[in-house]
Structures are given as structure tokens and as C-alpha cells.
A and B are shown apart, each in its own frame.
Chain A
Amino acid sequence: MKAIYSLFLVFALVLIALIGAGGLGLHYFFGVIVPYVAVLFFVVGFILRVVRWGKSPVPFRIPTTAGQEFSLPWIKQNKIDNPSTTLGVVLRMFFEVVLFRSLFRNTKVELYDGPKLAYASSKWLWLFALLFHYSFLTIFVRHMRFFTEPVPALFQWIDKVDGLLQIGAPTLYMTDVVILVALMYLLLRRICVAKIRYISLPADYFPLFLILGIAVSGIMMRYFVKTDVVAIKELTMGLVTFHPTIPESVGTIFYIHVFLVSTLLIYFPISKLMHMGGVFLSPTRNLANNSRMKRHINPWNYPVKVHTYEAYEDEFREKMVEAGLPVEKPLEEQPSESKE
């Protein structure tokens, strides 16, 4: 049910763009106003969210240590999984963000007795998550050729590498295939694995369908529905140079694509997609395990009521003296009533 709601929502978005840009011809609205608003939403929303996180302090140093601590000189420290220096933390975060190291931890090849079945389910999650994120990134960077003139060598190069297989005309991008496969995996996993279905919310299906919609509309535009690439570039360059123009020959499919992307941009800062920013702020990962070496300061540390030694001795002095335990105040000087 949750999945179907989300699917319908994405259909509705497509329909809005179809009617608005295609039927009613609101090209300026869908080609200029919506993208501008979306980018504004995204940038402001993203910054606000990160600032809001940043405003809450990190009172304690609580890294999850995943290896041997820095200890005696003859004990080999695991400098990445249990970093004690900033460099170590940077490396740990690098592996975390770039290679999804914690997810990979799931996947250690294990030997076990009993029936020899492949223990692979969690390895797939790591693999497809990685494939998804990298193809998304590549596609994003590839699109930069629409927003730059002349197109920098880097973007051209990535474009070339992605189309390396030289299949069909226009050449097939590998990432187009990969992202579809990865998205289908992530989606099916949510629908078919009972425990994952149980924990999934509509907010988990919606972005998957939305990105799927974006990918499909993009692929349609490139391979199936003929679109005027020169006109699109004119439009996109108009957007980045703040001289928006709407060339006549841009097809409706383009507006659908742009509308879905705009929705994603607006949805991004108010959703779980913010994990992109949040991963950098996670106190269990981005802190060095050096809390016994270097004092960590808690900005709201406040004095608390404690049971002092004096109060303790007052209560037990007689018994302590009797047991031969040293006391601060000798027995006869004891005030008749204890303080606490």
C-alpha cells in the first residue's frame, strides 16, 4: 500500500507536468520559474538543515570504535577503524563516504559449517547502494555539460568514459542502465524482504519512484522521443546566466524531466535524503577516539548535586573508626547531627 501511494504520487507529478507544459503550454512556468524555485529551496533548505544540526552541540565524544585503540607502543592500533588523530578520522570518513565501509562490514566472506549456502544478501545491499550512488553522481556530473560553455575537459571526459561501450546511436551510457538496475534492486528489496517491508515508510518508496521517474524520462528523451538538444542547451544556459529564454522546439518530455528533478530538489532538504549531509555530522563516526588523551568540552556542562565524602563520613564515621578506616575528623569532634 505504502509503495502504491508513492507510485501514484509520482504519476500525479508527471501528469501535472504533462498537462501544464504540454496541454496548457505553460513553458515559462515549468522551464524557468519551477527550476529557479526548486534550486532556491534546495540550497536554502540544505543549508538551514545543516545549520540546525550544527546548532546542537556535541556534548560527548562517542565514536563507535571498530578496531584496536591507540594504546601501549607495542600494540598495533587500527588507525582507520579506531582513529586517534584527525588524519585517521579523515581517512575513516573517506572510506565511510566513498566506499560505504560500514555497509561493507556486513559482507565479510564468512566460513560456516552446515549447509553451504552463499551468504550474500547483505553484500548485495552494499554493491547496489554503491552502484546507485556512483551512477547518480556520474549522471549529475555528465549533465554539467548543459550548464557550461565551453564544456570543461573533465565533463567531456566523463561523458566519453560513460559511453565507452559505443553501443547504438546516440551511444548508450552505462550509468543509465546501471542506475535502473540498482533502483529496481533497492525497490524490490523493500517490497520482497519481509523485515525491510515492515520497517519501510512511504517516505522510503517515494524517492525511489521519483528518481526512477527522472531516470526513465531522461532515458526516453535521449533514446526514444526525439528532442532538440541544441534548444535544451539554449534553455539551460539561459537559466545559469540568468537570461532565461524558452526556445520553441523543446519537447514536453523535457518539462516532465525538469519538473521531476525540481520536485526532488524541493523534497531533498525535508527528507531522509539529507543523509548525504548528515553522514558528515554523525558523532559516532566523525570524532577521534582520543577522549582519554584530550579533554572534550561539553558547552552545557553544569554542576550537579553530588554525595560528598564529608557527608559520607559524617554518616558512617563511627563505623569507619571502629573498622580501623582513616577518617578526616576524629570521632569526638563529630557534630551531634550530620549535615545531610
Chain B
Amino acid sequence: MALPNARKLFSQISHRMPKREWMDIPVEIKPGRYCYPANPKSLETVGMPHARQWSPLDEDWKLPENWMEIVRQGMKERLEKFRSFKVFMDICVRCGACADKCHYFIGTGDPKNMPVLRAELFRSIYRGEFTKAGKILGRFAGARKLTEEVIKEWWYYLYQCSECRRCSLFCPYGIDQAEITIIGRELTNLLGLNTDWIATPAANCYRTGNHLGIQPHAFKEMLEFFCDDIEEITGIRPEPSFNKKGADILFITPSGDVFADPGTYTCMGYLMLFHYLKEEYGLEVTWSTYASEGGNFGFFTSHEMMKRLNAKMYMEAKRLGVKWILGGECGHMWRVIHQYMDTMNGPADFLEEPVNPITGTKFENAKSTKMVHITEFTADLIKHGKLKLDKSRNDNLIVTFHDSCNPARGMGLFEEPRYVIKSVCNNFYDMPENTIREQTFCCGSGAGLNAGEIEELRFLGGLPRANAVKHVHEKYGVNMLACICAIDRAALPPLMNYWVPEVDVTGVHELVGNALILPGEQERETNLRGEPLPGKEE
């Protein structure tokens, strides 16, 4: 970072950038705003092209010789394959309704983070390469030339979009920046430009089944450690099944729940719930070490990579011969399951239409994909009075709920998690209306942006969310932020620590685990985190 001299700093001149059109402002790659490039080995593992060592700060990005041809061809192919892309390239009227809806723009104030402009980075090339008006009139028709600078700008801003779709909600034509980002990232991947925080987990997921590359025996051990902890707290030891053929239900959750706090406590919640259902109702739920990652880092890479990683879910369900699949708390995993899985890897005709055998409820909304969200499942159980709960164990918590972007705007899962939380907690307050449900603000770290090196960007992007949490913290004394996403559980604790340090983060099923009364359990002294329960303090 070059230090401006003091004279320049304190002089009367405005610090503002010179007035220029955005096409004339070259991209400036700032530290703290970009993720490190992918490890070439990770790209090679999954057969992605042009793996190499390169640095975003270098002048030369070592693009393949025929990079222009690759981009042109790649764009053409995708215009023919995706109506969304084609229509979104053509119909934007630049009304600006989306401009101030992006959390990165709200936080950083970088004008190129306005969704409309992030899309114009692509539209300008589309016009120049694929429309007659753009070819003839050039700049006047909003077209520009495809140069290496453009590619750098693409890469820089594509990985400052968390695919949260908030802009798409406010667009009068439903133009979805997430869709443009997804396709744009496919294009950068054709040139070997990716980030390590996406490429390496994707390669790990492919190879070992989860994003940290944990091998099968370690996966099992981890869950058994949780069982130890549960036994210590409740006196009851769950006996989870692994890769069990003929189980009723296959359960898949993001591996973040198994390996990173506070997701691990959510995972303990799952284990306790399944144990309860097995003891009380004889329901057999199995985990899989092969399909041990619900999160799909392929989704942040390309449609093809998404399909390759997602394929494991159905393959494993078929191999094990389960009736249907239950999915844990995860954001983008659920966007993939809800809007892509059946289309890509279905039909799931080897599974049964999901029915909750305990309540008899048919999950009508999942009858083709045959995968049910765990909050849908738990809400149904609670509604039918099938779970014995002691809400007072969560009385030390004043809870609010963060709607994760993908289940919110890619699914519409709003009431189920709230119903579950309200059933297991006495104190619940929602954040202000324009920051929740379909208008929810992103945690700032979605779509593969949870890397440590871009903490500044993440904290700025997460500011609108944190700010709303701060509001309910000050107004109602909220001290716990619940969410149904593994990325949230990884991203929100540092975010809260920076902006509202008094608020902690939890998954919904951690709250369930605390309230659930296991058959024959001892009197609990602590919650799942080992903290004394309300009334049991020294």
C-alpha cells in the first residue's frame, strides 16, 4: 500500500475519484478484497483446465494463448444453453432498483459492486461480441472490447458476489446477478482462474467426500467423539449408524457441522434427535462417509462440477436402499437440492415418496426429489407432539433468526425454522422486516467467499446483517443468532465478534438438542457447549 504524502492528504482537494465513466476506470486489485488463486493440484484432481501458479497482483496472469477464443466460445455456448443468461444480457433497462440492494455495495461503497454494474461488466462484452449494434456503434451502444483488463475485472468482481439473489428480488424483470455470477465463474474457470477456497474444497469433496479431505474412519471417529460428549452431558449415548444398508432414511449434512464449531453442537443436536427417534419410534437413520458432504463447492465452480459432486447423494441412497433422504441445515446445499438435483441427477425412482413414518405426514413438496429439509421434518414432529421438549433449558438465550439467502430466495423456507425455534425456546425476536425473510441480508461470506484473506470484504458485506442483529441486541437483549447454514455458522461468529461481540451463533438443531428430553436421561447440568444450564449456575 503506497502511503500518500501528508501534504496531499491534508490539502483542500477532494479525495474523490475523478469523474470518469466506469469503462474508463481500470480495475484496481486491492488486498483484502480478493481470495488467493487455486492450488493447481486441486484443479488437476478434478480435471479443470489451465491449472497453473499465478498471482492476481502480477501484471501477467499467464492466460492461455487462445484465451479470447475460449471466452468467446464459452460465452456463445452458454447463451445457447441458458435462456436466463441470454434474456438477462438483453433486457436490463438500468433502472437502478438493484443498485443499493447488494450488501457489498452497501458496505464497501465500490460502485462496481452495484449488481447492475457487475452485470454490465459482462453485458458490455456481450454487446461487443454478439450484437450487431454493439459491433457497429461500439461504445455508443454500450459495448467494449474484450481485453485482459476485462478478464481481471471479471475475476475480481465475480468473487465479490455471494450469489445471494437479493438484487433479483427487487428487479422488475427478475434479472438474477447470481445466475450471471455462476455463468461468469464458469467462464473464468475455462481460463484456469479460480480461488483456492473454492477449488481445493471442491477437489476434496470429490475425492474423499467432504471439503476438508477427512477420511472415512476419521469422519466416524468425529461423530463418536460427539457421542462421548452427549453421554457426558445426558448420560445417554447415541449409537449412530454409518453406511447402513436398509436404513429408513439417509442423512446428509455439510461436513462443516462435523468439523467446525459451533456447527459441531448442531451436529450433536442431530445425533440426539435421531437417537430419540430410534428409541421411541424405531426409526433408523444412517449417515454416510461416502456422501459425507452436503455442501456443494461445485456450485461455485460450474454447473458440471456441481452435478459431479451432487451425484453422490442419489448414488449412495440407491446403494444403501433407503426410503428417502433427509438433509441437514445448509444454505447453498439446499439451493442445489431444491432447484437442481432432481433435474441433474434424477429421476430418483428408486426412492419412495417421503412420508414421515412417525406422524404419517406426506411431504408433498418433496415427492419427486425425495429429499426433505430437516427443519420441515422436525417441525412436523413437533407439530404432532412427537418430541418431548423442555424449553426452559434454553431460557438463558434470547434468540433471533438469520434467514440464509439460499433457503430464503431459492426455496422459501421461512416458517419451518421459526416454528422449530419457537417450540424449543421461550425468547424469540425477529430482526426488522426489511432485513429478514425474502429481504434477508447475506452473512457476507456465501458462494465460496468465506476465506480468511478477504476478512475485510466479508466484514463489510456482513455489516447490514450485523447492524440488524445489533438493533435487536440493543432493543430486546438478543444474545443468540440462530441460522440454518454451515457457512453462516462459520462466517457469523467472527462477524459478530467484530460488530456485536455480545451475540453468539447457533444452528437450529443445537437448540433442539438442548431442549429434547432423551428417554432415561440424567438431569443435565450443562448445555451442549458445556456451559451451565439456566438455574444450574454456581
Spell out A's residues near B (CB within 8 Å).
2, 5, 49, 52-62, 64-76, 78, 81-82, 84, 96, 100, 102-103, 105-106, 108, 110, 122, 125, 129, 193, 195-196, 198-204, 270-272, 274-275, 278-279, 281-285, 289-298, 300-301, 304-309, 312-313, 316, 319-320, 322-326
Q: How far is the CA of A55 from the CA of B379 in the complex (A)?
A: 43
Collect the chain B residues with CB atoms within 8 Å of residue A110's CB.
433-434
Residue on A nearest B244 in the bound complex, by CB: A326
At the interface, yes or no: B454 with Cβ under 8 Å from chain A? no
**8 A-B contacts (beta carbon < 8 Å):** A55-B80, A62-B179, A75-B419, A272-B93, A278-B87, A282-B175, A284-B179, A316-B216
Q: How far is the CA of A110 from the CA of B433 in the complex (A)?
A: 9
Q: Which 5 A-B pairs have the closest CB atoms?
A: A69-B412, A278-B91, A323-B217, A284-B174, A65-B412
**Distance in Å: Cβ of A298 to nearest Cβ of chain B:** 5
Task: Produce 1/0 per residue, B99-116, CB < 8 A to A.
Answer: 110000000000100101
Collect the chain B residues with CB atoms within 8 Å of residue A274's CB.
90-91
Q: How far is the CA of A309 from the CA of B207 in the complex (A)?
A: 10
Collect the chain A residues with CB atoms within 8 Å of residue B99's CB.
195-196, 199
Q: How far is the CA of A289 from the CA of B369 in the complex (A)?
A: 13
Residue on B nearest A64 in the bound complex, by CB: B168
Spell out B's residues near A (CB within 8 Å).
21-22, 47, 79-88, 90-97, 99-100, 111, 114, 116-117, 120, 131-133, 140-142, 165, 168-176, 179, 206-209, 215-217, 220-221, 242-245, 289-290, 303-304, 307-308, 311-312, 315-316, 319, 337-340, 342-344, 346-347, 361, 363-369, 371, 376, 379-380, 383, 408-416, 419, 433-434, 437-438
> Does B343 contact A60, Cβ atoms closer than 8 Å?
yes
Residue on B nearest A104 in the bound complex, by CB: B172
Given contacts A199-B96, A199-B116, contact A295 B438 (CB under 8 A): no
Interface of A is mostly: loop
> Does B339 contact A61, Cβ atoms closer than 8 Å?
yes
Identify which of A102, A203, A204 contacts B172 (C-beta below 8 A). Answer: A102
Q: How far is the CA of A174 from the CA of B92 in the complex (A)?
A: 29
**Distance in Å: Cβ of B350 to nearest Cβ of chain A:** 14
Residue on A nearest B356 in the bound complex, by CB: A72
Collect the chain B residues with CB atoms within 8 Å of residue A306's CB.
308, 311-312, 315
Known: A66-B438, A292-B338, A316-B217. 7 other contacts (CB 8 A): A52-B86, A67-B438, A72-B380, A272-B94, A282-B173, A293-B369, A308-B315
Given contacts A72-B361, A72-B380, contact A323 B221 (CB under 8 A): yes
**Distance in Å: Cβ of A24 to nearest Cβ of chain B:** 27
Q: How far is the CA of A281 from the CA of B86 in the complex (A)?
A: 10
**Distance in Å: Cβ of A234 to nearest Cβ of chain B:** 36
**Distance in Å: Cβ of B442 to nearest Cβ of chain A:** 14
Given contacts A272-B93, A275-B93, contact A305 B174 (CB under 8 A): no
Residue on B nearest A5 in the bound complex, by CB: B140
**Distance in Å: Cβ of A207 to nearest Cβ of chain B:** 9
Residue on A nearest B310 in the bound complex, by CB: A306
Identify which of B81, B173, B311, B376 contacts A71 (C-beta below 8 A). Answer: B376
> Does A291 contact B343, Cβ atoms closer than 8 Å?
yes
Identify which of B87, B96, B365 contacts A195 (C-beta below 8 A). Answer: B96
Looking at A57, A58, A282, the one whose CB has the most chain B CB atoms below 10 A away is A282
**Distance in Å: Cβ of A191 to nearest Cβ of chain B:** 13
Identify which of A59, A71, A283 contacts B343 (C-beta below 8 A). Answer: A59
Q: How far is the CA of A300 from the CA of B82 in the complex (A)?
A: 10
Collect the chain B residues with CB atoms within 8 Å of residue A122's CB.
97
Given contacts A57-B83, A307-B207, contact A279 B173 (CB under 8 A): yes
Identify which of A81, A100, A275, A323 contacts B91 (C-beta below 8 A). Answer: A275
Q: How far is the CA of A96 from the CA of B174 in the complex (A)?
A: 10
> Does B81 contact A203, Cβ atoms closer than 8 Å?
no
**Distance in Å: Cβ of A59 to nearest Cβ of chain B:** 6
> Does B368 contact A65, Cβ atoms closer than 8 Å?
no
> Does B342 contact A291, Cβ atoms closer than 8 Å?
yes
> Does A325 contact B289, Cβ atoms closer than 8 Å?
yes
Q: How far is the CA of A281 from the CA of B88 in the complex (A)?
A: 10
Collect the chain B residues with CB atoms within 8 Å of residue A64's CB.
165, 168-169, 174, 176, 409-410
Collect the chain B residues with CB atoms within 8 Å of residue A270's CB.
131-133
> Does B412 contact A57, Cβ atoms closer than 8 Å?
no
Residue on A nearest B22 in the bound complex, by CB: A198
